[in-house]
Amino acid sequence: AGAQTIPLADWGVSSPETLSQPSWYGSTGLVYTPSAMITPPLKINGGVHRVDFDETQTVYNANVALASNIELGVARIQDVAPAFGATNQVYTNETIVNGKYKLDLSSWLGGIKAAPEIAVGVWDAADSVNRSFYLVASMDLDVAKIAGVSGLKAHIGFAESERATKNGDLKLGGMDGLFAGIEFVPIRNALLQVEYDTEDFNAALRYFPTPLVALEVGLIDGELGFGASARTPL
């Protein structure tokens, strides 16, 4: 059916651009920042991305939801910059572990459908680079349909990093402060994401040639990046 370009989404299957997406650097989210969304239980999503910083950085990551409200992930990051002030200026390869727990806010509020999704999580739980804890809220903005905007979601959160030093230009200092972002569907089979990651603005465009694969191009702190992500069938 896919070879004949039959619109499967019209048969009750969610369009891929409306589903939660793996972030470039870790948990389900936008480009660098996490969202309160979680991939479906026992399904895996992940990807590989490269960003042309001073040293070309490659990131491999994968996430799995152990239940409807618990997500675990791992990322292998090549060419991590030394932290500011570090005596060792050698770039290293690091593996980070991420975790996220989604709170059941809707049931606490009596089943209010308009309630945002809320999650708490940790980026780099083992503190291989710089551990950060965060709280994030995500919400569908249905009112945007009036303006003809499809799939608009807003995300806002706060993160705290355990160390004051940061890994600078390679975006691996651990989030520290307020972060926010939006995403929407500009055209069918595409998703545009824009965010503020506590320090810089990032953006990415994801295009879905198939329901399970996305091809991506973006700007991370003004630097060009590209990659691909994939998910297991729903």
pLDDT in tens, 211-231: 999 999 999 888 899 999 999
Question: What is the average pLDDT across 39-58?
Answer: 87
**φ, ψ (nearest 5 deg) of residue 56:** -65, 120
Q: Looking at the predicted structure, is the pLDDT value of residue 106 above 80?
A: no
Band (13; pLDDT cuts 50, 70, 90): very low
Band (10; pLDDT cuts 50, 70, 90): very low
Strand partners, 228: 48, 215
**Predicted confidence (pLDDT) per residue in 150-192, tens digit:** 789 999 999 998 765 554 444 555 688 999 999 999 988 999 9
Query: Using alpha carbons only, how large is the chain's radius of gyration in Å?
Result: 17
Q: Looking at the predicted structure, is the pLDDT value of residue 115 above 80?
A: no
Band (11; pLDDT cuts 50, 70, 90): very low
Q: Which residue has the higher pLDDT, 162 or 101?
A: 101
Question: What is the average pLDDT across 200-204?
Answer: 93
Tell me which long-range contacts 53-57 makes (C-beta under 8 A, separation of at least 24): 53/79, 53/81, 53/169, 53/170, 53/171, 53/220, 53/223, 54/81, 54/169, 54/170, 55/79, 55/81, 55/91, 55/170, 57/170
